[in-house]
Amino acid sequence: MRYDLNLLRTFIALLEERSVTRAAKRLGITQPALSNTLGRCRELFQDPLFIRERYGMRPTEKALAIGPAIRDALGEIDHLVLEQQTFDPATTTQRFVIAANDYVEYVFVPRLVERLQHRAPGIQIRIVPYGADLAETGVAAGDTALVLGRIVDPPDNLVVQPLMEDGLACVLRADHPFQGDQLTREAFESLKHVNMLPPGRLKKGLFEALGRQGLERDVAVSVTHFLSIPELIATTDYCTTLPNLICRRFVRDPRLRVVRPPADLGTFPVHLGWHVRYRQDPAHQWLREQIHDVGSELMAEGRGPAEGNG
């Protein structure tokens, strides 16, 4: 029997997206065109494959059964094609879309770009926001090259690797009335705090860490970006608790001072994730190597709290 390979790609897009709208967008076709292709898929496999429900398309038992084999077969085809291609970072003008949370964008991306400007001067990087929803980033569909942040419960088609870990420290203004190197529990709980509220898992991690140690905060201000915090701390007696690598950047401001929290708040992970279709892509492999190298460098810098001013 003769068939169009695009039928299988449409099938996988629907299986992974569970939505005609998202699958059509991923494939770069109209929804009517996708519906037409789905009809041909149903004829090919002699099964409805997907049942329309209120919140999307539910795969049938047969679709779930044949999905892994079709995904693997398409992956092998992609691998064969990619093996014939070469990648030269020095001459590439390729564009990569990376989903990153605020922490990664502030701490990690500048170091990565600095590295790339020497090794791949023509490369283009576009950062899109990543909170907690992988579907919104496009990485689970393969539209976005990579995701950097805390990844919890990834789908089966996403490869996830640990990239680095960071700890937590506190920041005060340099001439704050509290002048020790480590906050006492009494001081921590008596101070007013500036709280960072990023979209995603970092907030949850800090709240859980404080809860484990039985520490309470009197939160006076909550903000949505790291860049607003130095001015708030430098002009008040407030305290903030942030990742070590963020603190290391703040400590360059002579108005600020980094101190240890009153208890060990543990660490939080940063993950690197990508769609399985990019597993053997030479360009993606090279970029992932650069990202891992930057992660190792930052880990080496971030061991222990930053030294405070004063």
Backbone angles phi, psi at 196, to 5 degrees: -90, 130
Residue 250, by phi and psi: left (phi above 0), alpha (psi -120 to 50) or beta?
alpha
Amino acid identity at 169 = A
Who's near 52: CB < 8 A, 6+ residues apart? 58
Which has the closest alpha carbon to 264: 225, 298, 304? Answer: 304
Torsion on CA atoms 34, 40, 43, 45, rounded to nearest 10 = -70
Is there a contact between 100 and 145 (Cβ–Cβ < 8 Å)?
Answer: no
Each residue's pLDDT, cut to its tens digit, for the chain (310 residues) gives: 566 788 998 998 899 888 998 888 878 789 999 999 999 999 999 999 999 988 889 999 999 999 988 888 887 777 676 665 678 999 999 999 999 998 999 999 999 999 999 999 999 999 998 877 777 787 877 778 899 998 988 888 889 999 999 999 999 999 999 999 999 999 999 999 999 886 544 556 778 888 889 899 999 999 988 889 999 999 999 999 999 999 999 989 999 999 999 999 998 899 999 988 788 888 999 999 999 999 999 988 866 555 555 4
Domains of the chain, each with CATH number or no CATH = 5-83 (1.10.10.10), 95-164+269-302 (3.40.190.10), 166-266 (3.40.190.10)
Question: Residues 300, 294: contact at Cβ < 8 Å?
Answer: no
Contacts of 112 (CB under 8 A, 6+ apart): 125, 290, 291, 294
**Which pLDDT belongs to residue 112?**
97
End-to-end CA distance of the chain: 77
124 in the Ramachandran plot: left (φ > 0), alpha (ψ -120 to 50) or beta? Answer: beta
- Separation of CA 106 from chain center: 13
| Cα maximum dimension of the chain | 81
pTM of the model as a whole: 0.73
Number of Cβ atoms within 10 Å of the Cβ of 5: 10
Beta carbons within 8 Å of 171's beta carbon, 6+ residues apart = 229, 233, 239, 240, 241, 242, 247, 250, 251, 256, 257, 258, 259
CA dihedral 217, 132, 102, 202 (to 10 degrees): 30
